[in-house]
């Protein structure tokens, strides 16, 4: 009996040890489950259901696939020696999984939000809240993804998103020093006010909204707390006397006597404590997807996983690959396909001590954060300054199929050329067989509403915004990715500008036409050698804020045609049968200050003159609409021919042609009125 009892105990202990060694998802707590649109059927997939709740994780700090998580060993552990954390999740799945297509389309949530239903299904939610929790027919749009049987999924990965209904959040532990003492460190915040204000948040503000909560100031009187101001990103910082400024009572804001001036760059460096183990956000995505892919008891079991990310979320995916979160704790491949859109050459503040995931890189704020850092290419490249040799996929044990897609804006504002040029800027760089790079010419960072209008707030520029749509490309990319992974059908070849054929050039070589009243930016965004301290690359610890700024990497932009429209990319009907010049840049409006600087995210819509007489009167070098087309019929014939060719090349879907032509007719009416 004693022997049996001992064997039983040993068996239980072995099972516990095995579970501990392979721990991923501990449990799932479902808080809501309901049919979508009262049981409406979507194509062959039938009825969909919406499932929301929280997923609970545990990771083993001793597992080699967790070694890259900064400060994981400093977090509190459970009795099994694991670190526990949790995250919100949101699913839209066929109620009968057998009727689905076997694939999960996972969107890396951008600051806790959801975008793919709005983008890919052309949904029109009445407000942001409706977009975060789609409920009505308008919120679900035309059902493109659901008609095709995809499981749609999101999980919180960001611990600093402001709490709000339906916003997805990561609940991660903090890291401690020896003997469970509080860790402290330098944190930096910068901002450029749109108008004079007396106080400003330390959080990253995106178009008037907190993009992420800030770290609380540890000691307002600490001598290391500093406030400076400058007028340009590379300008000299002027120290503001300590007597003139103070932190707000909440310790998440800063106040200045006389107020912060419009259009100037303010930068606060302060001491904070209790860093969140931010890298667990990467682990949460890894383990949630592994759970869906390998555990048939998961709420949404699937065979294939495609991860899509837009902007910050696209940078997250590049970071995910670089730090090899592609292998779960058992060494199994997680993502089968990756679609990183408008990420440029960036990664992000996703996995270091006192990381601020919401910080990005913009012309007049979020400057010199660890966003655009070497390496930039997938295959190993050499840094001519430091001598380092590294590549984005150099550490990835299971390279997925990858689409990197960028618009005109990312070449001007997200150093996109670095993903396919050598670090010294001398040659076009080879890309691996599992990667496609697509440059969608004539688009801005995100699609603005049509008809084109001037931006508001942070997006207020000198020209109307570029409203060229991304949706047709996105729908074709998703289709091509699924065919590549599931059937082995190769997607369209990469299309992007090159140095060797002159379609990729230095800013000074740009041949943009002299359009009356239009100023072309004098500079482009640049990536620098940044020194955050001796332990940043090895241990993820920042000790120098702001960082020491070294030489910049060479950055290039697409060359343009006689109309000023980009060359070297996938040119949509708007560029093949143009009614305007469409750029990826737009200078800031004088109303928000710094009018010589580029605006964040947006491009320009610069319409052609309607007639030759109008063109001559304004000295516009571009042919007028009347000189290009005899009328609407000829224009639509050329527009349709361009769309048909893009369908043949598989950048558009044939099923979208009626909608594409409808858009073409609307563009004519807008330009010719």
* CATH number of the domain enclosing 367: 3.40.50
The answer on 285 and 261 residing in a single domain is: no
Position 563 in a domain: no
pLDDT per residue as tens digits for the range 265-313: 999 999 999 999 999 999 999 999 999 999 999 999 999 999 999 999 9
Same domain, 281 and 259: no
For the beta carbon of residue 600, count every other beta carbon within 10 angstroms: 24
In a domain, 512, yes or no: no
C-beta separation of 423 from 527 below 8 A: no
Tokens linked to 419 = 């993903």
Average pLDDT in the chain: 95
What is d(CA 257, CA 651) in angstroms, rounded to the nearest whole number?
55
Residue 556 lies in a domain: no
Task: Please write the tens of the pLDDT for every residue from 548-590.
Answer: 999 999 999 999 999 999 999 999 999 999 999 999 999 999 9
CB 612 within 8 A of CB 627: yes
Q: Are residues 398 and 323 in the same domain?
A: yes
> For residue 114, is it within any domain?
yes
Tens digit of pLDDT for each residue in 131-181? 999 999 999 999 999 999 999 999 999 999 988 899 999 999 999 999 999
Asked if 73 and 98 sit in the same domain, the reply is: yes
In the predicted model, what is the mean pLDDT of residues 335-358?
98
The torsion angles phi and psi of 382, rounded to 5 degrees, stand at -110, 135
Contact 472, 447 (CB under 8 A): no
Is residue 148 a part of any domain in this protein?
Answer: yes
167 and 235 belong to one structural domain: no
Query: Are both 266 and 227 inside the same structural domain?
Result: yes
Distance CA 296, CA 309 (A): 26
The answer to whether 405 touches 475, Cβ cutoff 8 Å, is no
Last residue of a domain, one of 441, 467, 487: 487
User: Do the domain assignments include residue 307?
Assistant: yes
343 and 217 assigned to the same domain: no
Query: Is residue 375 reached through a cis peptide bond, with omega within 30 degrees of 0 on the bond before it?
Result: yes
pLDDT in tens, 205-226: 876 666 678 999 999 999 999 9
Angle formed at CA 412 by CA 517 and CA 518, multiple of 5 degrees: 0
Judged against a pLDDT cut of 60, whether residue 12 lies above it is answered with no
Omega of the bond prior to 52 within 30 degrees of 0, cis?
no
Q: Would you say residue 513 lies in a domain?
A: no
Residue predicted with more confidence, 229 or 17: 229
Same domain, 165 and 249: no
- What's the mean pLDDT in 491-505? 98
The residue from 466, 487, 508 where one domain ends is 487
Q: What is the CATH number of the domain that holds 189?
A: 2.60.40
CA separation for the pair 123, 99 (Å, rounded): 23
- 334 lies in the same domain as 449: yes
Look at the block and give the residue holding tokens 């060479």: 554
The band of 49, judged by pLDDT with boundaries at 50, 70 and 90, is: very high
251 contacts 159 by C-beta, under 8 angstroms? no
Domain boundary among 429, 454, 487: 487
Query: Domain limits at 380?
Result: 23-173+277-487
Indicate whether 145 and 241 sit together in one domain: no
User: Considering the domain boundaries, does residue 102 fall inside one?
Assistant: yes
DSSP state of 216: P
Domain count, the chain: 2
pLDDT at site 406: 98
Please state the rounded mean pLDDT for residues 305-332: 97
pLDDT at residue 6 tops 60: no
Are 231 and 287 in the same domain?
Answer: no
User: Does one domain contain both 165 and 195?
Assistant: no
């Amino acid at each position: 009996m004693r022997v049996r009892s001992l064997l039983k105990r040993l068996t239980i202990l072995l099972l516990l040890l095995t579970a501990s060694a392979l721990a991923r998802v501990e449990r799932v707590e479902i808080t809501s489950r309901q049919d979508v649109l009262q049981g409406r059927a979507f194509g062959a997939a039938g009825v969909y259901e919406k499932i929301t709740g929280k997923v609970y994780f545990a990771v083993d700090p001793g597992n080699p696939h967790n070694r890259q998580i900064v400060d994981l060993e400093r977090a509190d552990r459970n009795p099994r020696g694991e670190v526990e954390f949790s995250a919100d999740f949101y699913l839209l799945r066929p109620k009968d999984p057998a009727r689905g297509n076997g694939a999960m389309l996972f969107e890396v949530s951008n600051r806790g939000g959801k975008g793919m239903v709005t983008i890919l299904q052309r949904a029109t939610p009445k407000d942001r809240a409706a977009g975060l929790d789609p409920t009505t027919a308008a919120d679900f749009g035309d059902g493109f993804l659901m008609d095709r049987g995809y499981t749609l999924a999101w999980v919180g990965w960001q611990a600093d998103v402001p709490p709000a209904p339906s916003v997805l959040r990561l609940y991660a532990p903090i890291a401690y020093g020896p003997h469970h003492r509080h860790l402290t460190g330098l944190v930096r915040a910068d901002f450029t006010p749109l108008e004079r204000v007396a106080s400003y948040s330390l959080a990253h503000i995106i178009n008037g909204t907190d993009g992420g909560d800030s770290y609380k100031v540890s000691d307002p009187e600490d001598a290391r707390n500093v406030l400076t101001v400058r007028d340009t990103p590379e300008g000299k910082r002027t120290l503001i006397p300590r007597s003139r400024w103070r932190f707000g009572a909440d310790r998440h804001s800063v106040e200045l006597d006389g107020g912060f001036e419009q259009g100037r760059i303010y930068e606060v460096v302060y001491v904070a404590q209790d860093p969140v183990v931010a890298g667990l956000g990467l682990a949460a995505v890894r383990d949630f997807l592994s759970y869906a892919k390998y555990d048939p008891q998961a709420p949404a079991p699937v065979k294939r996983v495609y991860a899509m990310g837009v902007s910050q979320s696209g940078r997250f995916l590049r970071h995910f690959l670089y730090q090899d979160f592609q292998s779960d704790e058992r060494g199994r491949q997680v993502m089968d396909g990756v679609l990183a859109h408008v990420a440029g050459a960036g990664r992000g503040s996703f996995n270091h001590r006192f990381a601020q995931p919401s910080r990005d890189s913009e012309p007049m704020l979020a400057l010199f954060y660890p966003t655009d850092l070497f390496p930039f290419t997938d295959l190993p490249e050499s840094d001519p300054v430091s001598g380092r040799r590294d590549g984005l996929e150099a550490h990835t044990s299971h390279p997925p199929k990858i689409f990197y897609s960028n618009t005109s804006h990312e070449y001007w504002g997200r150093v996109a050329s670095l993903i396919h040029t050598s670090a010294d800027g001398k040659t076009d760089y080879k890309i691996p067989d599992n990667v496609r790079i697509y440059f969608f010419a004539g688009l801005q960072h995100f699609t603005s509403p049509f008809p084109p209008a001037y931006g508001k707030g942070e997006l207020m520029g000198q020209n109307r915004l570029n409203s060229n749509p991304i949706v047709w490309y996105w729908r074709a990319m998703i289709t091509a990715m699924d065919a590549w992974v599931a059937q082995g059908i190769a997607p369209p070849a990469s299309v992007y500008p090159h140095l060797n054929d002159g379609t990729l050039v230095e800013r000074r070589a740009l041949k943009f036409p002299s359009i009356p009243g239009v100023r072309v930016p004098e500079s482009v965004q640049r990536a620098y050698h940044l020194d955050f301290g001796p332990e940043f690359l090895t241990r993820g610890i920042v000790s120098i804020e702001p960082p020491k700024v070294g030489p910049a990497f060479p950055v290039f932009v697409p060359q343009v045609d006689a109309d000023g429209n980009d060359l070297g990319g996938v040119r949509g009907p708007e560029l093949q049968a143009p009614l305007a010049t469409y750029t990826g840049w737009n200078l800031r409006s004088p109303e928000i200050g710094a009018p010589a600087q580029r605006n964040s995210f947006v491009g320009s819509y610069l319409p052609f003159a309607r007639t030759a007489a109008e063109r001559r009167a304004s000295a516009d070098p571009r042919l007028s609409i009347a000189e290009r087309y005899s009328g609407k019929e000829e224009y639509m014939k050329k527009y349709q021919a361009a769309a048909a060719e893009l369908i043949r090349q598989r950048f558009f879907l044939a099923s979208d042609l009626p909608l594409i032509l409808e858009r073409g007719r609307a563009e004519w009416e807008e330009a010719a009125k």
